[in-house]
Amino acid sequence: MDFVDTGNQKRDIKSMALEELAEEMLAMGEKAFRAKQIYEWMHVKLAEDFGQMTNLAKGLREKCRERYVYTCLKQVRVQESAIDGTKKFLFGLADGNMVESVWMKYKHGNSVCISSQVGCRMGCAFCASGLDGLERNLLPSEMLEQVYAITRLTGERVSHVVVMGTGEPLDNYENVVKFIRLITDSNGLNISQRNITLSTCGLVPQMRALAGEGLQITLALSLHAATDGKRRELMPVANKYRLDELMEACAYYFERTGRRITFEYSLIAGMNDKAGDAEELAGLAGPLKCHVNLIPVNPIKERAFRPGTHNEAVRFKELLGKKGINATVRREMGRDIDGACGQLRRKARTET
Ligand code: SAH
C-alpha cells in the first residue's frame, strides 16, 4: 500500500476509494453512510479541511483529523498568459516539494494538465522536467488536488484532464490508475473517462497493463521520431523498447479498448522535421489509424533544440495528410509563461 504511505503513519484519506473509506468508518465504529458524506465533501464539494464538513459531528471530525492526512495543495505562484488566458500554477506539497499544473480554456471546456511525479527519470533530451531526475511519485490525492485546487481558485468546472505535466505517469502506475478511477467516479467529480488523456514516453509493459484496466481514456504516445536511431538520440527510453514493440503495444491497446492512440510529435528544426521524417512517421501512424499531434518544440535554455517556422510545421502536416494521416499542429498555449513541462518549477527552485 505504498500509495498511502505518507511517512507519518497516518493514512491519506483523499486517496481512498469510497469502498475503502466505508471500511474505515466501520472499523471506527461509525455508520457506513458517513463514508459517502466525507467522500462528497472531499471530491464534490472540494472541502479544504475536516472543519468544513458541517454535517459530521465534531467528535467524528476530530477523530478523522487524528487518524488521517488531509491533502490540500497551496498555491505558491501563478502565471497568466497575456496571449490566451492559460494559467500555470505552482503548488506546494506537504513535504516542501513543488509541482506545476496548467489550466487551459478551450471552446469545449476547461482543461487541466497535471503532473504525475516530482521530477522525472526518463531524461528526454528536449524536456526541462527531467533535468534533475526523479524526486518522488505523487499520490492519487496530490494529483486530484491539482484539479481541485484549480477549480477552487478559478471558480470554474474542469471538464478535461490531461496527464501530461511533469513526470512519466506509467512510471507511477498504481497511483495514476487510482487517480483516474477517483476523478472519473460518479460519486466524485465525475469527469468522463473519454475526457482524460494520459501521455507516455512509451513504457511497453505498462501500456499493455493499462489496456486491461477497463478504462475508456485516451492514450497519447510521445513518439518524436519515427526511427529507433533518431528516437534514441532524443529519448533514452528508446534504448529499452524498440519501435516495433511499441507499435505492437499500441495496436494491442486499440484492440482491447477500442480507443485510438494519439501520437505526440515535437517538431525540432533539422532533427525530425524533414519530408523524409514525415514519410517515416506516416508509415508508423497509418496502420494504427493514429491521430498525430504536431508540437513545435518549446525551447528550454539548457538545450539547443529549436522549432522550425510555422509554415514548415504546416508543410509537415500536409505531407502527413497526403498519406492519409490525420494531423494537427497544436496551438502553443502559454508560450509566454514558461509553458513547457518543468520550466516553472525549475525556475522557482533556482530562485530560492
Ligand atoms: N512523460 C510523459 C508525459 C509528460 S511530457 C510523456 O513523455 O509523454 C508531455 C509531452 O510534452 C510529451 O509529449 C513530451 O515529450 C513533451 N515535451 C516535453 N518537453 C517539451 C518541449 N520542450 N517542447 C515540446 N514538447 C515537449
**Predicted confidence (pLDDT) per residue in 24-38, tens digit:** 999 999 999 999 999
Question: Among positive and negative, which fits the CA dihedral 293, 205, 283, 238?
Answer: positive
120 is annotated as an active-site residue: no
Residue 255 has a CB neighbour count (10 Å cut-off) of 9
Structural domains of the chain in order of their starting residue, each with its CATH number? 11-69 (1.10.150.530), 74-351 (3.20.20.70)
Among 101, 219, 235, 295, name the best residue to mutate to test ligand 1's pocket (greatest count of ligand atoms within 8 A of Cβ).
295
Ligand 1 atom with the smallest distance to the CA of 126 is 22
- Mean pLDDT of the residues in the chain: 93
Name the pLDDT band for 65 (thresholds 50, 70, 90).
Answer: very high
Q: Is the pLDDT of residue 268 over 50?
A: yes
- What is the model's pLDDT at position 345? 73
The single-letter DSSP state of residue 342 is T
Contact call for residues 269 and 316 (beta carbons, < 8 A):
no
CA distances in angstroms from 132 to 18, 125, 129, 330, listed in the order given: 36, 12, 7, 27
* Residue that is written with C-alpha cell 534533475 in the block: 132
Specify the 3-state DSSP secondary structure of 179: helix
- Calculate the CA 330 to chain-centre distance: 17
Residue 2's identity, in one-letter code, is D
Q: Is 142 in the pocket of ligand 1 (CB under 6 A)?
A: no
Q: Is the pLDDT of residue 203 over 80?
A: yes
* Residue that is written with C-alpha cell 518549477 in the block: 345
Q: Is the pLDDT of residue 5 over 60?
A: no
Task: Return the percent helix, strand and coil in the chain, to nearest 5.
Answer: 40, 20, 40
Mean pLDDT of all residues in 196-220: 98
Picking from 337, 299, 342, 334, the residue whose alpha carbon sits closest to that of residue 115 is 342
CA of 233 to the centre of ligand 1 (A): 15
Q: Helix count (H) and strand count (E) of the chain?
A: 11, 14
- What is the model's pLDDT at position 334? 66
The pTM is what?
A: 0.94
